Each structure stands twice: as C-alpha cells, then as structure tokens.
Structure 1
Amino acid sequence: MRAGRLMLEEISARVARGRSFAFETTLSGHGYARQIPRWRALGYHVTLVFLSLPNADMAVQRMTDRVTQGGHAIPEAVIRRRFDAGLRNFEGVYKPLVNAWAL
C-alpha cells in the first residue's frame, strides 16, 4: 500500500510540474479514470498500452513463478478478480478516456 501511495504522490508531483510520466497498473479499479480527463485538460496526451495474458490461469502461474524467485505472493482469488476487472475496465472504462491505446 505504501508503494502505491508513493506512486500516486510522484504522479501528482509530475503533473504539478508539467512533466511526462508513465506507470504500471492492473486497471482493476477506476481511480485513474477520474484523473485522465484532468490530465488531458492540462494538455497531456494520454496513451494506454494494456499488456494482457491470454487467461487468468497464466497470471496465477506467473505469480507462482515469481514467488519461487523470491517475490511476494498474492492470493489466487485476488489475481483472478484483478485479471477479469482489468480486461473489463480496459474496454469499458479506460479506452474511451485516452487519446490513444494499444492492446
């Protein structure tokens, strides 16, 4: 959670200075959907590149592999929920808001 807050603070600081930025997200929530119109109104060209795996099973396997290499675990139910929500939000929420997108 702290890392997420730090990222949001950094984005806000960059926007306040008119600087470019990029970030990574699962798109499982709508938080950035509230910011994108503001960023565009400030003159930002917002491009969304959504990298998706073919299915949630692969996302679970990636997490399992990451844990064996010392990474942190995420409950399988959370991975599956975020996977489905990310695809749904990409199509229904985020694509209409951005200047350009790629899947």
Structure 2
Amino acid sequence: ADLRAAHPFLDAAWAARLVRLYGTEAATLLAGARTAADLGEDFGATLTEREILWLRDREWARTAEDILWRRTKLGLRLTPAQAARVETYLGTPDKAA
C-alpha cells in the first residue's frame, strides 16, 4: 500500500510483483518516478527499462534469459517479440555492462 501511495501509477498486481521480488528495495528502484514513463521503455508485463538496469547493475543479470526466466519469471507473460526486444536491449553497447 505504501508503494502504491508513493507511486499511484502502479496497479495492485504490479506493486505486489515488485514488493515480492525486491522487498523494501522496490521503493529505491522506483525513486523519483512520478509516472510509468519515468521508468523508461516498457517491455511488456510491467517490465521496464529501469527494472532491467536495476537487475543488471545490482543483481548482476546479464542475459534476457536470466531476467525473464530466472529472476522475474516474466518470460511466462511476454510475447516472443517482447522477449526478443529485451535481448536486443541488453545487447545495445551503451546498455551493456
């Protein structure tokens, strides 16, 4: 409820997913975001650019497979085209670590 109060653009399921995965760090992940657009590109199923960068920078995720299947399980909800977009994004030189 606190996360949704601070970030009213989150729906209940999105907020619950972030809290389940990141606990109190979800607030840090969303810091400064006033709208969903502030989280960068939307890859589908509530996976945003900011979350991908968080996973890369803080949890050492390096591949789309790691992000979509191991860490978030959002591979179950993304279309093949959306999953391919995550793969392409991670392969972009200025996005890769």
User: Which TM-score tier does this pair reach, normalised by the shorter chain?
Assistant: 0.3 to 0.5
Please tell me whether Structure 1 or Structure 2 has the larger radius of gyration of its CA atoms: 1
Q: Which of structures 1 and 2 has the larger relative contact order (alpha carbons within 8 angstroms, sep 6+)?
A: 1
What TM-score comes out, normalization by structure 2 length?
0.34
Q: Output the TM-score relative to the length of structure 1.
A: 0.33
